[in-house]
Amino acid sequence: MTYKAILKPHAEKQFARLPKDIQKRLFAAFLILVDNPRPYGSIKLQGNTDYNRVRVGDYRIVYAIDDQELKVLVLSLGHRSDIYDKL
């Protein structure tokens, strides 16, 4: 089953500010998430079991999965050094 990826407005702004080469890598990760929202390497965040994260080099995508509506809601994305401060 294919899921639908939805970026929250905050995540859209974060995505737009990134360099084009990083955007391409993150977009490729989005395509993987819509096919399989729990890919190898995806980890549930501690303290909030509804959020997952996936690594894309030094960048992270934090997202929630809605299995009933087949949606992947991207909450935040950015460099690993500050992505968790923004949650």
* Domain boundaries along the sequence of the chain: 4-80
For residues 45 and 84, what is the distance between their CA atoms, to the nearest angstrom? 10
* Global model pTM greater than 0.75: yes
- Both structure tokens of 59: 């960048």
Q: Cβ distance 83 to 60 under 8 Å?
A: yes
Distances (CA, A) of 73 to 8, 19, 21, 30, 62: 7, 22, 22, 10, 9
pLDDT of residue 59: 97
Going by pLDDT thresholds of 50, 70 and 90, the confidence category of residue 18 is very high
Asked if 9 contacts 3 with a C-beta cutoff of 8 angstroms, the reply is no
Amino acid in position 79:
H
**pLDDT, tens digit, 9 for 90 and up, residues 28-83:** 999 999 999 999 999 999 886 789 999 999 999 999 999 999 999 999 999 999 88
Q: Average pLDDT of 12-36? A: 96
Q: Which CATH architecture has domain 4-80?
A: 2-Layer Sandwich (3.30)
